[in-house]
Amino acid sequence: MPEGPEIWRTADVLTESLKNKPINDLFFAFDKLKEYESKLEGQKVNRVEARGKAILTYFESDTVMYSHNQLYGKWMISKNGEQPDTNRSLRVAIHNDEKSAYLYSASEIEILNRDKVNEHSYIQKLGPDVLHPKTTYEDILGQFQSDKFKNRKLTTLLLDQGFVSGIGNYLRSEIMFYAKVNPREKLREYSNQEKEALAEATIKLSERSYETGGVTNDEKIVNALKRENASYDDYRHFVYNRTDDRCHKCGTVIEEEKTGGRKIYYCPNCQLN
């Protein structure tokens, strides 16, 4: 499932393609949304933004389209109404004179009133969105310092969208590595300094992944590996999905463990010593 950086990049592409351009045709696959095809035709899209792993499309009226891709949903953009060549099931299509935006395979699509967005069952449960422009370092640090979460294991907590939204499996391992913390502990077992490091890593690596299109590794390491003709998979991450490879920082062999049915990756030397 795409994580926060990928969802925000999708929102950016949709904003660039749709913002301030009158809609000349609209398609909804679900019968419950059909009435909005005519209601929204002729309107402009004001903006598109991410909330956790959902996307909100704001029309110039008080109407907002909520969509969540789940595992298989995907937005695609084309020019002049040319529909992409795909076997996916079309759920939504938004057309203007320049671009067309197609949403495929998503199962959760709703139309909301703008003043009711924060009352949506998914959105109201979200923690601070790590990439939202209004989210601060203090917001993220406050989550790590909160008594509400102190008895939760960090590996589980980092995937909880009610803790910090936008974090997924690759960012989880990368954040714990960058903060140099033992991934096996509960939140209460980390020092204040470690919690500060975790908050910093959460923001820094999420922003880095957003800006680079998915790379979380340090720029100097990435550039050095590129000069050695390393593949994208070799230089993209510090530890995620690099079992039995060498740590970019110390040369120790990266290990993996399964927790909650999903793997975490870590460096025994950088994180356990």
- Largest pairwise CA distance in the chain: 62
Q: From the candidates 2, 47, 186, 207, which is the catalytic residue?
A: 2
Q: Give yes or no: 2 in active site.
A: yes
Q: Give yes or no: 262 in active site.
A: yes
Q: From the candidates 114, 262, 263, 268, which is the catalytic residue?
A: 262
Q: From the candidates 9, 53, 99, 172, which is the catalytic residue?
A: 53
Q: From the candidates 3, 6, 49, 174, which is the catalytic residue?
A: 3
- Residue with tokens 């530890």, as numbered in its chain: 239
* Amino acid residing at 234: D
Q: Are strands 108-113 and 63-68 parallel, antiparallel or unpaired?
A: antiparallel
* Amino acid residing at 149: F
Q: Give yes or no: 53 in active site.
A: yes
Residues 6 or more apart in contact with residue 249 via CB below 8 angstroms: 238, 267, 270
Question: Shortest CA distance to 14 belongs to which of 52, 58, 53, 62?
Answer: 58
Measured from the Cβ of residue 255, the count of other Cβ atoms closer than 10 Å reads 17
Q: Give yes or no: 268 in active site.
A: no
22 vs 25: CA distance, rounded Å: 9
192 vs 205: CA distance, rounded Å: 20
48 vs 123: CA distance, rounded Å: 15
Residues marked active site are found at: 2-3, 53, 262
